[in-house]
Structure 1
Amino acid sequence: MSGFPVAPARSSVKTPVISFEFFPPKTEGAARSLQQTVATLAGFAPEFLSVTYGAGGTTRDRTLATTAEMVRQGVGPVAGHLTCVGATREDVNAVAQEYWAAGVRHIVALRGDPGTPGSRFEPHPGGYAHAADLVKGLKTVADFEISVAAYPETHPEAVSPQKDIEYLKAKLDAGATRAITQFFFVPEAFLRFRDRAVAAGITAPIVPGILPIANVAQAYKFAELCGAGIPETLRATLDGLDAHPEARAMVTTALAAELCRTLLAEGVEHLHIYTLNRAEPSYALCRLLGVMPALQA
């Protein structure tokens, strides 16, 4: 009697290192929800959990409070974002000192976006001129681990893709440990960018930013704002899914997992997940990638 057919062996792909990104809550209800999300995702023992800093520094107090609470809760290494928009060096350094006092040892250093949507960045007369300048300044405040941003499909204000790469190298040469990319939906966008970065002499890790889509219309809006390309074939798959939430969750999680597996097969070791403060999409993605919660590992 013949047995069941044997499935072909899956290709060996190393389980990735994971980090998560959150934004500071605006209400007490949102804060309680975030606490539950963080508790759920912290079970995956992430490399770090980061908290964003709003455009123009608008979430300064909420960001500081959220990061301090996460440190107090002992959920894992916490990284606070910090920008130099609309602030003096002294003001920025004071925030960095508050981070250090709260137990935060890792900063995601960004130039940041102006508080008024659509306006161009103008350095504060007494502030840091750009992110590379900010990285240098933070190193004089304390011995922070520092991550910076990278843009696989080129920063919207960059003169050219090559100049964008050169500026990334300047940020890393100033003392940053790694670069975390803006999200993207096509693996080739990251892989080509990584090749150009290596050719430019960049040796620091470049961590791909992954956005599990929880709402298609919202994802389209985010992509338009940051210049992330969405191929027509992907749009055809996504269009109309918001009317079918359960199907949307299955389809978008599968797409995110497919993207991540392609990156892992190309040697990527660390994935940074933009959670949008939702636990389930990131939880499902981690499980599909073989990253298990500590209690079930």
Structure 2
Amino acid sequence: MAFHHAQHSHSLNQSLSELNGDINVSFEFFPPSTPEMEQILWNSIRRLEPLNPKFVSVTYGANSGVRDRTHGVIERIQQETNLVAAPHLTLVDASDEELLELAKHYWKSGIRDIVALRGDLPAGSPKPTRFAVDLVRLLRSVADFDISVAAYPEVHPDAANAQADLINLKRKIDAGASRAITQFFFDVESYLRFRDRCVAAGIDVEIVPGILPVTNFTQLKRFAGMTNVSLPSWLHKQFDGLENDAGTRQLVGANVAIDMVKVLSREGVKDFHFYTLNRAELTYAICHTLGVRPKAV
């Protein structure tokens, strides 16, 4: 048996050490609604800043109060950190004129990166007449922004079918988007199949996997139900019995995310986008394990 282990020792050790930091990361935050949440957000931003992400994005709500908070976070990131700030921008609840003004304001204030989304429709809304592709075109008409758009390995809940969803993504890329960031997922095969279909459809930009480190499985089930994301049976088993054990949930969640990134990295993925939920601990630990470390001074 010792001989058998010796034969495999190289591959075993290699699998533990193969991720040596040659990957790119980006992080998503959301605007805080209370002073306590603001403190948590800024602690997280400060903790993750030394990892030198490609950019950090800040989500955007459909009502003006949340929009203002988004702008406030973006401006403070720009003024107080070395991070590249990428605001989310949506069509919901804003006219083309308002969006043009906002895009011009962002460009003048030094913002070069934007995440362009249609946005979630308020309950009872009529069918949308404007889509993310229209927002990409609008942004391109203002300036040469670096634009990220959303992709859905398990199909957008509003899409007629997977092919229609893929055609819509190609339109967004053809209109001038630089990359697609996926909805979070846990079925790695679904991402890899989706990436193959993107290549076959002539989509030639990076399809960046969105990674959601899980600490609260009950909350995750609610998120997944709203976004058409399947939760594999193995994931249910991982969190089974941990409802009242937050510490172990953290370890399990980190382990799941690290395993996913290792598999995806072996498949040639170089860029990863982390949905931090404004908490740094798990994302920092995952990045550290993957070899993404602060630069030595």
Conserved? CA contact 2:19–2:291, under 8 Å: no
* Structure 2 partner of 1:102: 109
Helix, strand or coil: the match of 2:243?
A: helix
Q: d(CA) in 1 for partners of 2:65 and 2:159?
A: 24
Q: Structure 2 vs 1, CA of residues 271 and 121 (structure 1 numbering), >3 Å: closer, same or farther? A: farther
Greater mean alpha carbon deviation, residues 23-32 or residues 258-267: 23-32
Please state how far the C-alpha of 1:58 moved relative to its aligned partner. 5.6
Q: Structure 2 vs 1, CA of residues 85 and 265 (structure 1 numbering), >3 Å: closer, same or farther? A: same
Instruction: Please state if 1:86 is matched with 2:93.
Output: yes
* Structure 2 partner of 1:66: 73
Q: Structure 2 vs 1, CA of residues 100 and 242 (structure 1 numbering), >3 Å: closer, same or farther? A: farther
* Structure 1 partner of 2:128: 122
* Residues 85-139 of structure 1: per-residue CA shift (max 9 Å, x gap): 12210011122223223321100000111133x756423xxxxx11111101111
Conserved? CA contact 2:19–2:290, under 8 Å: no
Q: How does 1:127-276 map to 2 (within 5 A)?
A: 129-276=130-277
* Structure 1 partner of 2:40: 33
Helix, strand or coil: the match of 1:242?
A: coil
Q: What RMSD over aligned residues (CA atoms) do the two structures have, in Å?
A: 1.9
Greater mean alpha carbon deviation, residues 100-109 or residues 185-194: 100-109
Greater mean alpha carbon deviation, residues 171-180 or residues 136-145: 136-145
Q: d(CA) in 2 for partners of 1:55 and 1:229?
A: 26
* Residues 173-193 of structure 1: per-residue CA shift (max 9 Å, x gap): 000000000000111010010
* Structure 2 partner of 1:51: 58
Greater mean alpha carbon deviation, residues 15-24 or residues 238-247: 238-247
Conserved? CA contact 2:213–2:253, under 8 Å: yes
Conserved? CA contact 1:154–1:164, under 8 Å: yes
Q: Structure 2 vs 1, CA of residues 279 and 93 (structure 1 numbering), >3 Å: closer, same or farther? A: same
Greater mean alpha carbon deviation, residues 242-251 or residues 200-209: 242-251
Q: d(CA) in 2 for partners of 1:232 and 1:57?
A: 40
Greater mean alpha carbon deviation, residues 161-170 or residues 49-58: 49-58
* Residues 136-186 of structure 1: per-residue CA shift (max 9 Å, x gap): 111111221100000000000111101101100000000000000000011
Conserved? CA contact 2:104–2:142, under 8 Å: yes
Please state how far the C-alpha of 1:228 moved relative to its aligned partner. 0.8
The TM-score normalised by the length of structure 2 is: 0.91
Q: d(CA) in 1 for partners of 2:107 and 2:240?
A: 45
Q: How many residues align?
A: 287
The TM-score normalised by the length of structure 1 is: 0.91
Could you list the runs of 5+ residues in structure 2 that have no partner in the other structure?
Answer: none
Q: d(CA) in 2 for partners of 1:148 and 1:156?
A: 16
